[in-house]
Chain A
Amino acid sequence: DVKVTQSSRYLVKRTGEKVFLECVQDMDHENMFWYRQDPGLGLRLIYFSYDVKMKEKGDIPEGYSVSREKKERFSLILESASTNQTSMYLCASSRSLDEQYFGPGTRLTVT
Chain B
Amino acid sequence: AQSVTQLDSQVPVFEEAPVELRCNYSSSVSVYLFWYVQYPNQGLQLLLKYLSGSTLVKGINGFEAEFNKSQTSFHLRKPSVHISDTAEYFCAVKGGYQKVTFGTGTKLQVIP
- List the interface of chain A (C-beta within 8 A of B): 4, 35, 40-45, 48, 58, 90, 92, 97-105
B43: contacting residue among A4, A41, A58, CB under 8 A: A4
A102: contacting residue among B6, B44, B97, B104, CB under 8 A: B44
Residue from A42, A97, A102 with most neighbouring chain B CB atoms (10 Å): A42
- List the interface of chain B (C-beta within 8 A of A): 6, 9, 32, 34, 36, 41-46, 49, 51, 90, 94, 97, 99-100, 102-105
B43 touching A43 by the CB < 8 A rule? no
A100 touching B100 by the CB < 8 A rule? yes
Bound CA–CA A32/B18 (angstroms)? 36
Residue of A nearest to B91 (CB): A42
Return chain B residues, CB-CB under 8 Å to A101. 46
